[in-house]
Structure 1
Amino acid sequence: MSSLQLLRRTLQLIPRKCIISTAYSTNVYEPDYLDALKPKIPLHEPLNIEIRGYDYPLLESYQRLIHTIATNMDINVEDSWASPHQDFSISTYKPNSEIVESQYHLKTYRRTVQITDCPSTQLPILLRAIEACVPIGVKVNLVQHTEQDEEDRYIPDKELLELKDTLESMGGARKK
């Protein structure tokens, strides 16, 4: 009997679920009842990690870091997006007068990372890791996801809104 035939006969005697092939799986066989022994950990609702700052490339880089940290911790990152920037005009005045000494135009940028099904035991660890590497000038805020967040995400198309108003004033769309 050749060694190949002996190997085949031996493999037929071993139960199928005990055979581990390194080509298909690197995990060790674990019985099914071990899954039932795992504790039930409560999961959080969808959460948004909002980051704000004045430097857009820095904000994008930090958003990518948050995404990487969450992914490495096996936390589901549902989505991430950039919101429209906000413009601010800041003026400084000469002492005891109304004369403008200097004027500054600032843009505040906002990025959001949405995480879902985050175990309550991992959220504090994620927040500490995020807090430990916050760049200077960046503010981090954790909020629950709302419908308003979804609406604020998109920039309204003024041309499209004007065309819809014109169509309404002309009597609406034709019905076929």
Structure 2
Amino acid sequence: MFRASKLATQTRSLATLRSKANQITSKELYEPIFKSDRVYPDFPVLNVRLQGYDFVPLERYQSYVHRVAKKFGFTIVDSYAVSAQTERITTYKPNSTLVDSEIELAKYDRTVRLADVPSIRLPIFLTLLKTHAPVGVEITVKEHEKADEDSRYIPDLLLREKQEELKALDDPAIRRNLGWE
């Protein structure tokens, strides 16, 4: 009735159909995968500036911002501290001009610079930062400017003074007074 050659050709044809069919992964089993071809713009460079009066929570929060930015896949260009700004506060005794106490407060400043931040992920990132911010920490997010880079460095007053002296030595009147000409 059945021949062996006919049975062999039927099994061979089933094997070729199976090899031609697409392999379905477990993700595609119940829902198809939709490929999105949307393109969202990226922010070029952003500064996340953290300011606070308490040093330890600010340092820990900066490391938290750094970790979360890494998990979001942002490029971290730089993470640095800016010199603290000190303010002197004077309190007076009630109804008098006598000084009750003087307090010096230092406001610490940390900056995390991010690059290639997709505009679709930024609101989620900022909501997460705002939700987990410790008490007393101010968060400012803005695009990077040259003024931000300049505020990072402390000016060397002695070096500037010496540079001005050297420039003054180029003046012909001063050179004559020194007897160089």
Query: Would you say same fold, with TM above 0.5?
Result: yes
CA RMSD in angstroms comes to 1.8
Give the corresponding residue for 1:24. Answer: none
CA shift for structure 1 position 71: 0.4
Pairing 1:82-161 to 2, within 5 Å after superposition: 82-161=81-160
Distance 2:60 2:120 in 1: 26
Distance 2:127 2:112 in 1: 16
In structure 1, give the amino acid aligned to 2:128: A
Pairing 1:1-176 to 2, within 5 Å after superposition: 38-171=37-170
**Percentage of matched positions with identical amino acids:** 37
Taking structure 2 as the reference length, what is the TM-score of the superposition? 0.71
Q: For 1:49-77, what per-residue CA distance to the aligned partner results, in whole angstroms no more than 9, with x for missing partners? A: 11001122321211111010000110111
Q: Give secondary structure in 2 for the equivalent of 1:130.
A: helix
State the aligned residue count. Answer: 138
Q: Which has the larger radius of gyration?
A: 2
Distance 1:143 1:91 in 2: 33
Q: For 1:115-172, what per-residue CA distance to the aligned partner results, in whole angstroms no more than 9, with x for missing partners? A: 1111111101111111111111111111111110011011111121111011112227
Distance 2:162 2:154 in 1: 16
Q: Which runs of 5+ in 1 are unaligned?
A: 1-35
Distance 1:46 1:111 in 2: 16
Distance 1:54 1:37 in 2: 45
Q: Give secondary structure in 1 for the equivalent of 2:166.
A: helix
In structure 2, give the amino acid aligned to 1:58: P
Q: For 1:70-119, what per-residue CA distance to the aligned partner results, in whole angstroms no more than 9, with x for missing partners? A: 00110111111111110100011112211111111010010011111111
Taking structure 1 as the reference length, what is the TM-score of the superposition? 0.73
CA shift for structure 1 position 37: 5.4
